[in-house]
A and B are shown apart, each in its own frame.
Chain A
Amino acid sequence: MTHSSYDEYRQPEPEGGRRKRGGGGKRRRRSPLDGGAGGDGSHEMAMVEDVEFESYYGRPVVKAPPWETPIGIYLFVGGLAGASGLLQAGAALSGNAELRRTARLVAIGAVGVGTPALVIDLGRPERFLHMMRVFKVSSPMSLGTWILSSYATGAGMTAANEVDRMTGERLPLGPLRPLLRLAEGPSAALQGVMGAPLAAYTAVLLGDTAVPTWNAARHGLPYVFVSSASLAAGGMAMALTSRRNAGPARLLAAAGVVGDIVGMHYTKSRMHPLESEPLEEGTPGKLLTWAERLAVAGGIGTLFARRSRTIAVASGLALAGASALTRFGVLHAGHESVKDPRRVMIPQKDRLEKRRAAGITGDSITTGW
């Protein structure tokens, strides 16, 4: 690194230690394709082997939000609730009472798990209601809070009606019962209308960050998330409803499986190899591989679920599991992607180069007036 004669007095550097990680030290840019992507020609790549890459001691450049397991759970149950909201609305409109009841109970269960999970993950859980201070379109988290709370209001009302009916009107409602029934229709509509946004907003929430893997996934992640929600809700409803009434749930689940797999491949095809790598390697990669396998298995199961309740239950659970794994896989892939500064720096340098090659030079942070 240095060449002065005083270097003799310098302590010997540990083998492979300081220099590799260190001080403006040069990191040989490994091919990001070591993992095997890119050969498919889907990326136009300005990848040059042996480009030396500078970083600041290999330390992270951006930070991932401190979202841990509870948020992974929320991503899953939020989707489950969202798509169940659509299922209950469809079932109510088509007069499928059993499916309607199942979907509403699944939905309220999912909201019941998801909301506390969101609160627990806050740094100051007691200030949860501060989320309701503002309504901010530029913040997907703010929109999501309002979507979730209006959805939960609808879901609570519809579920209360179902439970009241199931218990033979034994809930101690007194004179409120007619009011509850009156509210059932509007509540079901609210729950239905908020269902799709609830399933989709979390994808925007992740996309709207500087975390390289999430941000780069923004072009396709909403497709993955609504599909994952659909297959989970379809799967759960299929498992908990009699075969005769589960037809729409089976179809929704099957559509979800197709959307999920196609969506994930499309998402990755729009990403820089260094950004998509965390979705394919390591623990998150494993989670996502198993998610895809379970989704395929469950999807095949839906084709036969009309014949056997056992198959319906098994494939329904497989689908729910697939959805949960997808969410945790994507969550952890993001966390993984901030650890190595190359995943931030190299895609940024590449896009900068691309713009410069196209003659756009005035929009970078080190140029212009």
Chain B
Amino acid sequence: MGLLSGPEADPAADAGWGHDHDRKGFFTDTSICIGCKACEVACKEWNHNPQDGNLQIMGSSYDNTGSLGANTWRHVAFVEQGKDRIEEARETGRKLVSLGMPSIGPRSGASTPGGRPGEDLSRADTAPPDTPEFRWLMSSDVCKHCTHAGCLDVCPTGALFRTEFGTVVVQEDICNGCGTCVGGCPFGVIERRDDGTVAPKGQRGRVQQDVPNKGTANKCTLCYDRLVEGEEPACAKTCPTTSIKFGDHDDMVESAHERIAQLHEQGMTEARLYGANPEDGVGGTGSVFLLLDEPEVYGLPPDPQVPTKDLPHMYRTAAVAMGGMLAATALAFLGGRR
């Protein structure tokens, strides 16, 4: 039985799998993303995902995809910022460092495979580089494959399941499109594939096309079909800059920590990790990100909590309410005799 919240070392084992596989995950280093969207294309092609809308230009930035959804499992966000905002980002990042974000200084008991073993950076030169006039932020977003996945917890059919790789996948032949998972995801990732969703994308119209798995919930599978063959996911394989790294989750977190230390060493305090903390509201994510500004700038929630974390409390509240209802009915019959 998996847990509802808190750190959980091996979600796949707790879901009933043996220990044959390591948990797989991504480390998306947005500091080297060039916004080419090759991952978006590779994902669409590999998974035969239908077209999203009518190819209209959104006019807000170089991002014309908009957001993750039933037909878009990778989404490259694009943001343009000026000097003021860059400085703000540096400031908020610096604050995070003081709150204990992994950073400069020796890591306690760290044994890092492939370099920088517990290197002490506390005396390194951390004078910030000159702040550029403006910058482009590009970040390839994807399903987080949460340790405590809201979507999976609330699915009533068992269509969503935890794979042996610790990832979260929908079985399209089981899902009946009840839509519960859509509300269960604190990151707004999973969506029901049809044309009647509550939040259609902007004003973009619909097009005639072959739509597989109509009416079922869809999201990134972390290329389950490729993983079982020992292949890496299509998006990571195609990424020309290695911004999307794929591998064992532990290694991903490890290299995320190394990379952030490196960036901080260069004075880029705006860099921060997203999802690398097993104590966070979703027990840490399978897809770890390195961001260069606050999460909300990229459209990521700043304090996501898996809704089921509070489920025991909700059941208790409901039990009290039901007790009140029973008492009211009993009293009504006692008082209504006359």
A226 to B78, CA, bound (A): 46
Task: Tell me which residues from 138 to 189 in chain B have a Cβ below 8 Å from any Cβ of chain A.
Answer: 150, 153-159, 174-180, 182-188
Stretch among B22-30, B38-46, B79-87 lining the A interface? B79-87
Across the A-B interface, the 3 shortest Cβ-Cβ residue pairs:
A123-B177, A123-B215, A247-B336
What is the interface of chain A, defined by CB distance below 8 A to chain B? 1-4, 18, 21-24, 53-57, 59-68, 83, 86-87, 90-91, 93-94, 121-125, 127-128, 130-131, 133-134, 136, 138-142, 144-145, 196-197, 199-201, 203-205, 207-211, 214-215, 218-220, 222-223, 225-227, 229-230, 234, 247-252, 255-256, 259, 335, 338-339, 341, 344-345, 348-349, 351-352, 356, 361-369
B56-70 Cβ-contact flags toward A at 8 Å (1 or 0):
000111000011010
Any A CB within 8 A of the CB of B239 = no
Contact A64 B297 (CB under 8 A): no
Any A CB within 8 A of the CB of B214 = yes
Q: Give the residue among A60, A91, A364 with the most B Cβ atoms within 10 A.
A: A364
For B102, the chain A residues whose CB sits under 8 A away are 368-369
A153 to B152, CA, bound (A): 29
Contact A54 B197 (CB under 8 A): no
Any A CB within 8 A of the CB of B127 = no
A208 to B4, CA, bound (A): 12
B71-95 Cβ-contact flags toward A at 8 Å (1 or 0):
0000001111111010000000000
For A59, the chain B residues whose CB sits under 8 A away are 66-67, 299
For A219, the chain B residues whose CB sits under 8 A away are 317
For A352, the chain B residues whose CB sits under 8 A away are 302-303
Contact B299 A61 (CB under 8 A): yes
Q: Report the minimum CB–CB distance from A196 to chain B (whole Å).
A: 4
What is the interface of chain B, defined by CB distance below 8 A to chain A? 4, 59-61, 66-67, 69, 77-83, 85, 96, 99-102, 133-134, 137, 150, 153-159, 174-180, 182-188, 190-194, 196-199, 214-217, 257, 272-282, 285, 291, 293-304, 307-308, 310-311, 313-315, 317-318, 320-322, 324-326, 328-333, 335-338
Contact B196 A64 (CB under 8 A): no
Given A60-B188, A134-B156, A256-B328, check contact A362 B307 (CB 8 Å).
no
Q: Looking at the complex, which one of A57, A87, A215, A348 makes contact with B61 (CB distance below 8 Å)?
A: A57
Contact A54 B297 (CB under 8 A): yes
Nearest residue (CB) in A for B133 is A4
Given A68-B198, A345-B301, check contact A365 B325 (CB 8 Å).
no
Nearest residue (CB) in A for B315 is A204
Q: How many residue-residue contacts, CB under 8 A, span A and B?
A: 355
Q: Looking at the complex, which one of B60, B69, B186, B273 makes contact with A18 (CB distance below 8 Å)?
A: B60
Contact B337 A94 (CB under 8 A): yes
Contact B60 A57 (CB under 8 A): yes
Contact A64 B198 (CB under 8 A): yes
Contact A366 B318 (CB under 8 A): no
Contact A123 B279 (CB under 8 A): no
